[in-house]
Structure 1
């Protein structure tokens, strides 16, 4: 990457917060934290634990006393947990926030390199490195699907022809390794707490695009995500289908009523198809999924209204009068 002398000096004054949400992450957490501590720039490491029952908390407290740790009394999930520390980062003047999964880690220059890219390309709100699998032998499987031509134009061709640029427009990348600028965070706000499992990062990238921010892939930089590819269960696929549809209905880049009409028509067609073919298990699952989506419409419309405004869900406490525990209580309630 071609970097100016001034940008190299300026980066040392950046206030960078790394945020990690943990739950039974003892297997990875030392490698995760050590990789951040070994970064080429100084960062503030903030961890929020969701009632781990393994050695995660003990390892953090005994081996990494410099880490800021919040212990939840209940499992709040990814979105709400991260929101607590995102608010903290905003209140403490963070210039950039790096979201890192407990089962992920970075190379020495990853975070610094991502910051340099955002400094020189301020049209991007989120930028991510290439996601390698835990063994370091291949791309993370899910990440490889994000790099298709219709999702990341030009990247595969440039990779083959060896004319790679420093950053590419990316339609979506999961939040395992995200650098988010302060400007993006203040405009977009926090994760939508309506997402309890999956979907919050899809929703956040949709909201970012709606407010004019690009999502970037930094091909010269690496992060590692140690999640084994497992055959998804039928139950998991049905859950993902429901969440995907909620993300579509909530997407500010789409017309809510048009998408609702399309979904309703397809829903009725599927019911008749399963009924005629005698697939009663699928019929029941379709009814259950449709019931969840239709019962969520009021919540989805409300969330769309909230997310049209800048700084959705931030609710910064004036003069820092509320503690992190009180912020956690706000999320729970």
Structure 2
């Protein structure tokens, strides 16, 4: 294992209870290759395989964080909700720990609109100049609490994550299905009763013990912090003054600066695209305004030819009208006078 990655031993895994699986009657046959043995009808996970796969997962997490990637922590069970939120906040990442709303990834447009409403409510409550009644304040606070529970961990995410870290794949099956639909890689703690098919990076282990969940969260957050520190060093920032306690604040500042740079690049790219479109439009208009070969010979523009066509059409109509009047006059002249009938005396 490299020195930059967080260190752990098999003894720490045993003390945290990572090796305990579910009863053998609840075992998923696809997880049999990760099981060492069974004792008292309980499956025992092979910790050598867990250690190797966990090391590989930590390397992947570190690389994603080094490249300014977004990592989403997902765990809605009671024993995992607090550790997930703490570890995500510690490393400046994003989390869902209350309830996974349907379409949280696949219907990101509507979710982003509700995040905007949450931010508006927070701004309204923070503004002291605006005077609200007690009832109005209570209504706003209740709405804010509801939105904060569901969307508070992803309100600053700003787009799709680059990796989804899941605890308990059976409970978070909806999140896994949405991530798979969007081709987002999934890293998960997979217990003996779970299906490992849809998971890109499998970590076999106990997903029910509070100690084991805290250990996973600590290792993942440490790997993310080490990756972001390397990125900060590469960008020329001095990390010697940064402590582990104030790491989240420094990470947020660094992310803001990086996001501003990315926004500037996007604006520049959009300006270039707009310029290209205007040039294309001007070229097409110039081609349309150029006289055709017949116009070049006569020296007349297309607008002059159109006006001439209109005048010629008017003359044709007038001439046709005159011809019709002449025909009517001729018919009147050629009519024979009717003979008057006389009665016999």
TM over 0.5: no
Structure number, greater radius of gyration: 2
TM-score (structure 1 length as normaliser): 0.25
Q: Relative CO higher for 1 or 2, CA cutoff 8 Å, sep ≥ 6? A: 2
Structure (1 or 2) with the greater helix fraction: 2
TM-score (structure 2 length as normaliser): 0.24
